[in-house]
Amino acid sequence: MTAEKGLKNPRITPSTVPCPVCGKPASWAPENKWRPFCSERCRLIDLGEWLTENKRIPGEPDDSQDGEDAEHDEP
C-alpha cells in the first residue's frame, strides 16, 4: 500500500526525549523551539541554574583573572 502524494505516514512520529528539568516528554522535532526542553519555562529554569552556577562543567579551576594568560598578570 502506498501513501498519496503530500500525505505524511501516520506511523512516523517525531522522537520524544524526557525534559531535562521536569521529565515530561518533549518532542525532538524542529517544531519544538525549546528543544530539548518541553517548554520555555523549563528552558529558563535550566538557564537560571547555569547562571547561578548551580550547574557547572567539572574541571580544574581557572586561576587566571578574566580568562587572561597568567604571564600577563606579572608586574
64 versus 72: the higher-pLDDT residue is: 64
pTM across the whole model: 0.59
Cα 29 versus chain centre, distance? 13
Q: pLDDT at position 57, please?
A: 87
Task: Give the dihedral of Cα atoms 38, 42, 47, 48; nearest 10 deg.
Answer: 180
Domain ranges for the chain, please list them: 14-55
Instruction: For residue 18, report the phi and psi dihedrals to the nearest 5 degrees.
Output: -70, 135
Q: Prior bond to 61 cis, omega within 30?
A: no
Q: pLDDT at position 8, please?
A: 55
Digit-coded pLDDT (tens) for 4-63: 444 454 454 569 889 999 999 999 888 999 999 999 999 999 999 999 989 888 888 777
- The residue among 18, 1, 19 whose CA lies nearest residue 9 is 1
Hey, which CATH number is domain 14-55, 3.30.70.270, 3.30.450.20, 3.40.1830.10, 3.30.50.10?
3.30.50.10
Measured in Å, how far apart are the chain's first and last C-alpha atoms?
79
Q: pLDDT at position 38, please?
A: 94
